[in-house]
């Protein structure tokens, strides 16, 4: 969604909350692909008509580039054209933004998953950088142990709190027999690495092991409902089997130990501005080690050889669900050393967290993982950050 459309929704929110008739909207919102049925049900459970309207308007900002025109069309189809006209007028009345220079689009990691090319992904976002001639640069703000003080203060998230924020790690290793999902040997290795790494990066780390889907949801909601006002960031790490699910914005799902899937989209939405207001405007990072299916990406022959995916004494496994229709791609995990993705992520954080921003480090991780073995693996990436993110190292 364009920034002018977002601002129009915010400026018109009070009038929409006061006048919007939400009941006729639910079916068209689902039929037109703006919300899934579970999302609609969550909106309906928000409370009164006004509270449902407020939640709907807030969540619309996250529904992609076609959300605004589709919403206007639905308003007209349900006899609420005057509200559509009001939003159009708000767009026209907004002042022109300052001249921006766009950087190359980047996508934030949905780690360990390579989405199927046939799946519609959300729009890619360009990160706008204000031209140097538009305003004088502010004096840089010193930071402990990082290179942030050498960069434009306005383009960098500030991490001043100690700890920086909460980090929740959900580590599923053993699955019920009824789930037909194998034991994830090596996941404890991943978990231990990330516990130590994020503690060193000044996060308060909480680990939960072997949770059913509903218990995972409970832990995620507890974290979202905490008071983050004095903190600067939040991290969620999930290590489990994965699958493909229907989605609008974030592909993939994660299994609980009972074999029930949780859509990534649902997990991310627990931490949006309406469900977790104390994290509004603050970076929320999701690191997920899971598969999107059983399909093995064999890559193609290139000039240089990549390392073998087998070594003496090592057992190579995937995090795909064995009964899933093979359409997504596997991510690889070794019982003795953990998953390829977490191994590389931990290594890159150790070497570069003191000097490089997160997205640059994720490029290093993707490059290292893609060249690791006989089968190929490419971590997925989705980015909705507005600024550069630098960890603060101890």
How do residues 183-211 score in pLDDT, each as one tens digit? 998 899 999 999 999 999 999 999 999 99
**What are the pLDDT digits (tens) for 113-122?**
444 433 333 3
Mean pLDDT of the chain: 77
Burial class (CB in 10 A: 0-12, 13-18, 19+), 20: buried
- Report pLDDT for 63: 83
Is 228 designated active site? no
User: What's the rounded mean pLDDT across residues 125-145?
Assistant: 38
Is 291 designated active site? yes
Which residue bears the tokens 């190359």?
104
Query: Architecture of 3-93 per CATH?
Result: Orthogonal Bundle (1.10)
User: What's the rounded mean pLDDT across residues 369-392?
Assistant: 79
Please tell me which residue in 233, 276, 291, 381 is annotated as part of the active site: 291
**What are the pLDDT digits (tens) for 55-67?**
898 888 888 888 8
Structure tokens at 14: 């009070």
Instruction: Count the neighbouring beta carbons within 10 Å of the beta carbon of residue 96.
Output: 6
- Report pLDDT for 91: 82
Annotation: CATH topology of 148-370: Rossmann fold (3.40.50)
Please tell me which residue in 164, 241, 247, 276 is annotated as part of the active site: 241
User: Helical H runs in the chain?
Assistant: 3-11, 13-19, 26-31, 37-44, 49-60, 67-77, 81-93, 187-200, 213-225, 264-269, 340-352, 358-370
**What are the pLDDT digits (tens) for 69-100?**
999 999 999 999 999 899 888 888 755 544 44
- Report pLDDT for 249: 76
d(CA 79, CA 69): 16
User: What's the rounded mean pLDDT across residues 342-347?
Assistant: 93
Helix-helix angle 67-77:49-60, to 10 degrees: 140
What is the biggest distance separating any 2 CA atoms in the chain, rounded to whole angstroms? 70
d(CA 204, CA 168): 8
Q: Where are the domains of the chain?
A: 3-93, 148-370
């Amino acid at each position: 969604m364009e920034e002018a459309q977002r601002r129009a929704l915010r400026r018109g929110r009070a009038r929409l909350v006061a006048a919007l008739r939400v009941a006729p909207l639910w079916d068209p919102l689902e039929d037109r692909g703006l919300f899934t049925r579970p999302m609609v049900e969550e909106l309906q459970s928000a409370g009164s008509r006004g509270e449902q309207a407020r939640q709907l308007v807030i969540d619309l900002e996250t529904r992609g580039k076609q959300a605004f025109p589709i919403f206007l069309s639905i308003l007209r189809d349900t006899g609420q054209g005057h509200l559509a006209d009001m939003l159009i007028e708000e767009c026209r009345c907004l002042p022109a933004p300052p001249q921006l220079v766009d950087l190359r689009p980047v996508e934030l990691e949905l780690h360990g998953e390579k989405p199927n090319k046939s799946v519609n992904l959300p729009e890619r976002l360009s990160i706008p950088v204000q031209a140097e001639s538009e305003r004088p640069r502010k004096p840089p703000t010193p930071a402990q142990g990082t290179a942030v003080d050498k960069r434009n203060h306005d383009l960098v998230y500030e991490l001043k709190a100690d700890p920086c924020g909460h980090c929740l790690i959900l580590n599923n290793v053993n699955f019920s027999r009824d789930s037909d999902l194998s034991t994830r040997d090596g996941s404890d290795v991943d978990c231990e690495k990330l516990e130590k790494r994020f503690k060193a990066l000044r996060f308060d780390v909480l680990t939960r092991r072997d949770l059913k889907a509903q218990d995972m949801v409970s832990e995620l909601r507890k974290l979202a409902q905490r008071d983050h006002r004095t903190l600067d960031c939040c991290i969620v790490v999930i290590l489990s089997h994965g699958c493909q699910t229907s989605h609008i914005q974030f592909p993939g799902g994660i299994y609980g130990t009972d074999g029930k899937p949780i859509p990534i989209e649902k997990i991310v939405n627990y931490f949006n501005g309406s469900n977790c207001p104390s994290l509004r405007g603050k970076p929320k990072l999701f690191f997920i080690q899971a598969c999107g299916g059983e399909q093995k990406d064999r890559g193609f022959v290139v000039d240089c050889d990549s390392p073998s995916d087998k070594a003496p004494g090592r057992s190579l496994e995937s995090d795909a669900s064995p009964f899933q229709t093979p359409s997504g791609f596997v991510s690889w995990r070794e019982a003795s050393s953990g998953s390829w993705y977490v191994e590389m992520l931990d290594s890159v954080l150790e070497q570069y967290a003191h000097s490089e921003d997160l997205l640059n480090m994720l490029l290093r991780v993707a490059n290292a993982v893609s060249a690791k073995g006989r089968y190929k693996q490419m971590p997925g990436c989705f980015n909705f950050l507005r600024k550069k993110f630098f960890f603060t190292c101890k």
